Structure 1
Amino acid sequence: MAEAEEEKIYTRLMATAMSEALGDTPVVCLLGPRQSGKSTLVRRLLPKRHYVTFDDPGLLDAAQADPLGFLRALPEQVTLDEIQRVPELLPPIKLLVDENRTPGRFVLTGSANLLLLPSVNESLAGRMEVVRLHPLSEMEKQGTETSFLETLISGALEAAVSESGQVVSGTAEAICSGGYPEPLGRPARSARRWYRQYLDAVIQRDVSAVAQVRKEDDLRRLVEYLAHQTANLLNVNAASNDLGLDRTTINRYITILERLFLVRQLPAWHRNGMKRLVSLPKVHMVDSGLAANLLRLTPSDWSLHGTEFGGLLESFVVQQLICQSGWVDSELKFSHYRDKDQKEVDLVIEQGRRVWGVEVKRSASIKRTDAKGLARLATQAGKNFQGGALLYSGTNTLPLEPPNCFAVPIDRLWHE
């Protein structure tokens, strides 16, 4: 399933990082899910560059048959699309770069996470910079320039009261539309077909680039299962019992889905000496639009299926903030907090030793008890705790009891 050109032109906020990498690094690798807009971004930044895609079977065969000869036959500066299909090219790329270290000589794009393949780190260490392109964030879809994440970590959140009784609009629509450019402009029925075909293409064409899978149907069943479990602690035993697959297979398949950017495991936050913290990761579907399609949820279901939308909402927020870190601070670390007293924080953000917390609530009203998780995180982090936010469906930004914490309208993620 080749990446399609977007009908609407979106400003991709990772374009700056991409341009900077091209200016000083011989190999620039743009990684992200299939159909997230990688090819479109590269072609806009480098419209005259020679472009080769390994979705073309003839080119794929030629590159696999004679990797070095194939590369030597190309122009000095070239884009190689879907590089995960031809890992044999990586050692010859290293050889050619060592002969000529011109910045931006090779641009690689990949729909699988090459960094999880040992051969990549061995071949291109010190020669390659990786830029991650997520599906479109709501900021990019709305054309917003100032990110909520930047406001949070700069300590610029302030109380603001609007009219009482109002509720943020557009949240369900943002969740269900997701971030893949192609289905955004389609009618609902056409978009649903696109998601089904997308998942088919990833499983049938991309899985083989990262692993051998005997039963593709089992992998598809796991994707659908994880959509129902999104934002929950990963329970491999439960998944094994529900799907009739052994634990080893479940773990292996989840690793495959992570490599293909379909799911993410969000690790548990921890500190040395803290024994009462839960260590299990949470599992999140990366794109809320795909997850909503698998759950057969539409924006009109927002008030009818609150429990399922609650998990989707949390995964949506996690994805938005991880997206925003790409242009705010790519070194930020993300995790979740949960202890054995059932106190939890949906997202913990770390910058060096500094810590912030983000909670997500679907409701349009808040209670003092809603901030208990943030208060517990503040206690555990001590002097390193910088503040936090409780994102909810109300329209007022209100102070909470933990220091520098506020209840914040969820649409601040995409509106300034």
Structure 2
Amino acid sequence: MIRRDKHLNQIVLGLQQFPVVALLGPRQVGKTTLARQLAAQWVGPTHLFDLEDPDDQARLSDPSFVLRPLTGLVVLDEIQIKPSLFPLLRVLADRADAPARFLVLGSAAPELLRNTSESLAGRVMFHELDGLSLDELAPNQMDQRWLRGGFPRAFLADNLAASRAWRESFIRTYLERDLPQLGINLPALTLRRFWTMLGHYHAQTWNGSELARALGVSDKTVSRYLDILEGTFMTWRLRPWHTNQGKREVKAPKVYLSDTGLLHSLLGIAEYHDLLAHPKCGASWEGFALREIIRQTGAGRDEVYFWGLHSGAELDLMTTHNGHRLGFEVKLTRSPKVTPSMRSAQDALALEHLYVVCHAEGVDKPWPLAEGISALPLQAFGSLADGLRAD
């Protein structure tokens, strides 16, 4: 089992500050395992309820009667199945003596639950659990993580065939069971087709009209499909940065599939050599690297952007975290070079520094390319991220 102590420590800190912590992330990403690790080290009584378990559902048929007298740590797994619990949690969280702390686990983002739950504003800390990060793995496991994705069972499978089988099963279960449980009743084949098409648009700017024409549906319908995938952590959007310099800047967001393993399964990529030969190889590496940079720096959604001009100049990622304005350009190469596009981004965005994130095995530190521009192997990013978080 891979320990995920950074996440565990953040949850503990959250429970010290808030009566409710919501641990959110896709199914099978390790939320329940993390909750059990927390319960094992919790000082005091612990109570775990799995809302998919018929026995626990029966126990919570009168939730107020069951939950009010509990003290210590109360874990409610798969909270999206019973959103009617949110009004009660608000009442229990407001008790003056705070006899219990609540850890709720969910596979749907707050936006997806908003219409069916009471607000816990001011009472809850949200923490997102993503797939396995490179700082949780050995340096020589980077390419395995890229190919298989970050879901623990896909990554830790005995062999690549078992990993592919797990990912395919996950996709079917997500479409045929998980979404209907959230009250989202869409034809599984239609949504899978959209998801696959989105894989071919991975790392490109969003063009809903083009996708709508290909699917034979309206722009509004494909936007709803995208919202569903994003609300259940299957995709993410990167917003554009506007410099207000009068230039023709790109104003549509970029869209990425969250997990490269699922991306590769949807695109029919089986082996590592298939990935390297695939037209979406560079885009897959870009999404993998950007996700890693964002999570290791701790930058929030309102602190990360891409920048691009219709004339062609662009920057894959800019972060504005902890007072630093940094640029990141991702290249699937061992020996990156400075380009005119990088120079344009450096000047237009007034970057403190620009890093060209590359694939350089065996290299554990950045090296200079030009003034204000350095090459940085992705596997060596952790040391830079630690310094940024300390600042």
TM-score, reference length from structure 1:
0.82
- Among 146, 154, 168, the alignment partner of 1:196 is 168
Identical aligned pairs, as a percentage?
Answer: 30
Residue 304 of structure 1 and its aligned partner are, at CA, apart by 2.2
Show structure 1 runs of 5+ residues with no match.
1-7, 145-168
Between Structure 1 and Structure 2, how many residues are aligned?
375
Q: Which residue of 1 aligns with 2:282?
A: 310
Aligned to 1:255: 227
2:326 paired with 1:356: yes
Partner residue, 1:49: 46
Paired with 2:116 and 2:346, the residues of 1 have a C-alpha distance of 39
Conservation of the 8 A alpha-carbon contact between 1:25 and 1:103: no
Q: What is the CA distance between 1:173 and its match in structure 2?
A: 2.7
In structure 2, the CA distance between the partners of 1:37 and 1:104, relative to structure 1 (3 Å rule), is: farther
- How has the CA–CA distance of structure 1 residues 79 and 258 changed in structure 2, closer, same or farther, with 3 Å as cutoff? same
2:70/2:100 contact within 8 Å kept: no
Structure 1 counterpart of 2:94, one-letter code: D
- Paired residue for 2:354? 388
Mapped pair 1:179 → 2:145? no
Q: Distance in 1 between matches of 2:309 and 2:180?
A: 39
**Residue deviations 1:354-387, cap 9 Å, x none?**
4211111112333332xx33322222223xx211
Matched, 1:18 2:11: yes
- After superposing the two structures, state which structure 1 stretch, 198-207 or 94-103, moved more: 94-103
Amino acid across the alignment from 1:344: E
Offset at residue 234 of structure 1 (A) = 1.3
CA shift for structure 1 position 218? 1.1
Aligned equivalent of 2:213: 241
Matched AA of 1:282: K
Indicate conservation of the 8 Å contact 1:25/1:104, yes or no: no
Amino acid at match of 1:126: G
User: Matches of 1:14 and 1:83 in 2, distance apart?
Assistant: 19
Shift in alpha-carbon separation, 1:77–1:278, aligned structure 2, 3 A: same
Write the letter of the residue equivalent to 1:387.
H
- Larger deviation: 280-289 or 221-230? 221-230
How far is the alpha carbon of 1:24 from its aligned partner?
2.1
Equivalent AA in structure 2 for residue 196 of structure 1: E
Shift of 1:175: 0.9
Task: Measure how far apart 1:265 and its partner are.
Answer: 0.9
Indicate the larger mover: 170-179 or 221-230.
170-179
Q: What whole-Å deviation, never above 9, does each CA across 1:100-159 have from its counterpart, x for those lacking one?
A: 4528611101111124543588521111111111111121122x8xxxxxxxxxxxxxxx
Match of 1:129 in 2: 125
CA distance in 2, matches of 1:101, 1:81: 24
Structure 1: distance between partners of 2:312 and 2:99: 51
TM-score (norm 2): 0.87
Partners of 2:331 and 2:95 in 1: CA distance: 55
SS at match of 1:9: coil
The higher-RCO structure (CA 8 Å, 6+ apart) is 1
Q: Which amino acid aligns with 2:52?
A: D
Q: 1:116 to 1:325 in 2, by over 3 A?
A: farther
**1:162 corresponds to:** none
Q: Deviations over 1:18-39 (max 9, x none)?
A: 1101112100111111111111
